[in-house]
Structure 1
Amino acid sequence: MNTEVWFEFARQNWLILLIALVAVLLVINIIKTMLKWAIAIVIVVALVVYSGVSLGQIQDTAAGVKDEAVAKLQGEALKMLKSEASEAVFQKAADGSFTVETPSLKLEGRPNAAVVKVAYRGVPLGEWERGEQVNALIRAAQSRK
């Protein structure tokens, strides 16, 4: 599991962790029988179960924020495909691969590939299918050559 998620959990739940630690220490110091170990184990197990739920929620939230940010960037990139097509520069490499660059976008791909790698203002947005908008940008860049 990611250490950032653990740190975030500790930051958000420091009071619960402190209370659990104090409870375990009190139980161990006050109760002198086997019952103390049973109570301490119950407290630790409850804390682990609680942290599992919280860590999952933190991780889901972080993933959701990331997905939302990527979706917004993809939306902006699609707008840029249309508006910056006239400024697109096409470069072909010796191996047949190509790069199309505009002031905000960079597309990298192969001539007959179904996908291209897209970066928007230096941020990689992954591989996109070569839909009509992407192909239109490639054609516009090739015609400017």
Structure 2
Amino acid sequence: MDMQVWIEFLKQNWLVIAIALIILFIVLNVVRTVIKWALVVLIIGGLLIYSGISFDKIQEVVTTVKDETVDTIKTEALNMMMKEAKEAKYTSNGDGTYSIKAPNLELTGSAGSEKVDVTFRGVSVGKWEINETIRSFIDDAKGNAASK
């Protein structure tokens, strides 16, 4: 969302926005029920539609932000794996599953599987495909367990 687009929109439609705000204040002060909030939502929705912002654009922005956040968390978790590999502790659960715990990370998986559940700083970040970094982290954790 470009700020210049918003400024231009406000310059061109200031009268419509002013009228909508006056109507909103009247509705908020006069009507005292659930209808008040329904009218508020309708007025704001009308302004959004009038401004050219579609729900598809809003959904696209939300999706973009979500994807960028997930990518950032994944990158940070992978970097943390490389830093904490020496402190990782491998535990075999006896039923073909294993868990690896480091100060900020926890991986759980099963032997032979190509995916692991990753928890980063206590928050599950999903099932990840085992890549080179994760494989190295698992191997280092196994080595730490063997050397003790």
Counterpart code for 1:117:
D
d(CA) in 1 for partners of 2:58 and 2:124?
24
Structure 1, residues 21-71: CA drift from partner, whole Å, max 9, x if none?
A: x7xxxxxxxxxxxxxxxxxxxxxxxx5xx3896222222211211111111
Show structure 2 runs of 5+ residues with no match: 1-15, 24-45
User: Following superposition, which runs of at least 4 residues in structure 1 exceed 3 angstroms of deviation?
Assistant: 50-53
Q: Which amino acid in structure 1 is aligned with residue 64 of structure 2?
A: G
Identity in percent: 34
Q: Could you tell me the TM-score, scaled by structure 2's length?
A: 0.61
Gaps of 5+ in 1: 1-14, 23-46
Deviations 1:70-117 (A, max 9, x none): 111111111111110000011121321111111111111111001111
Deviation at 1:124, TM superposition (A): 2.1
Question: Alignment partner of 2:138: what SS?
Answer: helix
Counterpart for residue 133 of structure 1: 133
Distance in 1, Cα, partners of 2:113 & 2:59: 34
What root-mean-square deviation, in Å, do the aligned CA atoms of Structure 1 and Structure 2 show? 2.9
Q: Normalising to structure 1: TM-score of the pair?
A: 0.62
